[in-house]
Amino acid sequence: MNDLDLSLTRPGRAPPGGRHPPLGQLLVDTGKIGPRDLMHALGLQGHIDAPLGDIMVAEGLVSRRDVLGALAQQARSEGADLELSPPAPDMAGHLPAALCLRYGVVPWREDARALYVATSSPAAFTSLRQALGSRSRQMFPVIVDEVQIQSHISRLYGRELAGKAAVRVPATESCRGWSTGSTRRTIIALGLLAITGVAAFQAPAWTLTAAVLWAVITLAMVTTLKAAAFVTHFTKGRSARTAAIITTPFRLPRVSVLVPLLKEKEIAAQLIARLSGLTYPKSLLNVVLVLEENDRLTRETIARTELPEWMSVIEVPGAGDLTTKPRALNYALDFCRGSIVGIWDAEDWPEADQIERVVSRFNDAPEDVVCLQGVLDYYNSRANWLARCFTIEYATWWRMVMPGLARLGLVLPLGGTTLFFRRDALERLGGWDAHNVTEDADLGVRLARHGYRTELIDTVTHEEATSRAWPWIRQRSRWLKGFMITYCVHMRRPRQLIRDVGFVRFLGLQTIFLAAFSQFAMAPVLWTFWLSAAGLPHAVAGTLGSAAVWSMAGLFIFSEVLSLAMGLVAVSGRGHRHLMAFVPTMMFYYPLGTVAAYKALWEMLRSPFFWDKTQHGVTRQTDLP
């Protein structure tokens, strides 16, 4: 049928006795492997959840072509190359997309006699026929490489699947109802500005006082949370780092990791080099590079790169103006093969034993622990002052604040990478909100609302700290915009949110999302307290009195000292000590966040779904600490 020449007998002819001969024995009989190689592969299969053929290919015992030939012989079928002989577009009408994804098949050809279905697994094809039951017509399997099957499922059903990817999350938990450039939001915003302007004109002192009070209240909320996290760092201590040695025997699962790419010019080869250092069995690792259909730059980059067997590519069909990471993740989720699904960013450099740590913890954890969040660090912290400050900020966040939130039992706002999920729970939640530009933080809230738990795991992924001012502002404005949109979505029904997560965690969400955003937006108001520290009169002393002003100034100074102390502790470890001298300069770093907050507010009004992409590969990688 094609140049692979995998055909051995006519389709549909049953093997002797109605039983399929074992794949390994077929490979031994045809001289492709020796008996010792087969025993080695079977021994591995005893403790890893992977098909025998994948194990032998990953171990270098046999080629993929030889495995496909043996599978065709096993099924008394033929082989095909879908790149040379693709299915016609109208073949999509013969099987629903859901069944094709579930059983890893795609309709290929039909004649008066039968429907020929491409599959990489005779067992999966048998399950498909059983699922169809009496509704099925005469079908015969054709053995095809799994990567080709996925590619042509996407080609035949891509528009349908892309449409579903955009609306997987229930409307009540999604922000997709926010219309771009909403007139209503604009009118409300202009109305608030007008009211503020009139108030400032009629009663300037009291208008400023109201702003100061709001800034101080939210400052108190954030400071209390940070102080509590800081205290737990010392009172509960830090758990010792444990080796990723799996001591309790269990069958290792297959793990799929999604890596979204967009307009990447050089990152592909670097990514492959980094991920090749992972020590998890490659026969169980399924790294999926996810790119947009119209992203010509990334497609050309991938085309120049030879991908290993354990890495594949999924192209996400366009869906109007919506081009977001969560939509791409939802689309690619259906093509994953693992029972555990993870996320890495394009520039990520995970620790070599990261997957072992993840699967070991999932094996030991209670069933309601469905998400594991790793720690992020940065490999270019010496690039310049901005990169140093970025690293200090996130060392504080990942090594002090997030562990504190976890110990306090609060909802964890997830990061966008080094996330791993039990796939079945992720699918029950509907994946990610395709319209939310901080899909990670939103998913953290939805996990908690549905009774699931997230744990932090002791594994580090290094990535690139943003080292230029305008890209930093663009990135931070996307994060702040997404935080506020997430807050608005989950505050549609406050009483229901309290019932879902409890009152304490409800207060925590007010602090993490609303108060944290307010601190960036209201920072200029808080900076006025430096006047009091310098002995100058404050503008609100006339409305609130000097004692109140000094109390608020004291809170402001305490918050600054607390931030300084947390930063120093966060970077006191061996790998970050070179940053300690820069911690006091963080007061000059955070004003960039105020600019980002105002940009985020504007985009909330005019372009809530706009994804302001962070450019990767700006600075050179340095040696890891």
The answer to whether residues 149 and 172 belong to one domain is: no
In a domain, 3, yes or no: no
Q: Each residue of 413-431: pLDDT tens digit? A: 999 899 999 999 999 999 9
Strands 115-119 and 105-110, by their bridges, are: antiparallel
Entry pTM: 0.89
324 DSSP 8-state letter: -
pLDDT of residue 237: 57
The parent domain of residue 63 ranges over 16-154
Q: How many domains, in total, are found in the chain? A: 2
Pull the structure tokens for residue 484. Answer: 């506020």
Burial letters for 37-57: b for 16+ Cβ neighbours within 10 Å, e otherwise?
bbebbeebbeebebbbbbbbb
Does residue 56 belong to any structural domain of this protein?
A: yes
Strand partners, 143: 79, 119
DSSP element (H, E) containing 205: helix 204-235
Q: Name the 3-class secondary structure at 227.
A: helix
Strand partners, 314: 290
Same domain, 53 and 192: no
What is the β-pairing status of strands 105-110 and 255-261? unpaired
For residue 514, give the CATH number of its domain.
3.90.550.10
Domain limit, last residue, from 89, 120, 154: 154
Closest CA to 94 of 7, 157, 144, 184: 157
In a domain, 8, yes or no: no
> How far apart (Å, rounded) are the C-alpha atoms in residues 160 and 163?
5
What is d(CA 536, CA 338) in angstroms, rounded to the nearest whole number?
A: 63
* Confidence at residue 246, expressed as pLDDT on a 0 to 100 scale: 56
pLDDT tens digits along 354-381: 999 999 999 999 999 999 999 999 999 9
Would you call 261 helix, strand, or coil by DSSP? strand
CATH code where residue 99 lies: 3.30.300.160
- What is the pLDDT at residue 30? 87
What are the CB-based long-range contacts (under 8 Å, 24+) for 494-499? 497/449
Residue 221: alpha-carbon gap to chain centroid = 29
User: Residue 176, Cα to own-chain centre: how many angstroms?
Assistant: 19
Residue 267 lies inside a defined structural domain of this protein: yes
Question: Do 147 and 172 sit in the same domain of this protein?
Answer: no
Structure confidence at residue 182 (pLDDT) = 66
pLDDT of residue 434: 94
The number of residues in the chain equals: 625
- Domain ends where: 133, 154, 175? 154
pLDDT of residue 469: 94
Where is the domain boundary, 154, 179, 214? 154
Residue spans of the chain under pLDDT 70: 1-20, 134-137, 180-182, 237-248, 266-267, 319-320, 533, 615-625
Tell me, what amino acid is at 232?
T
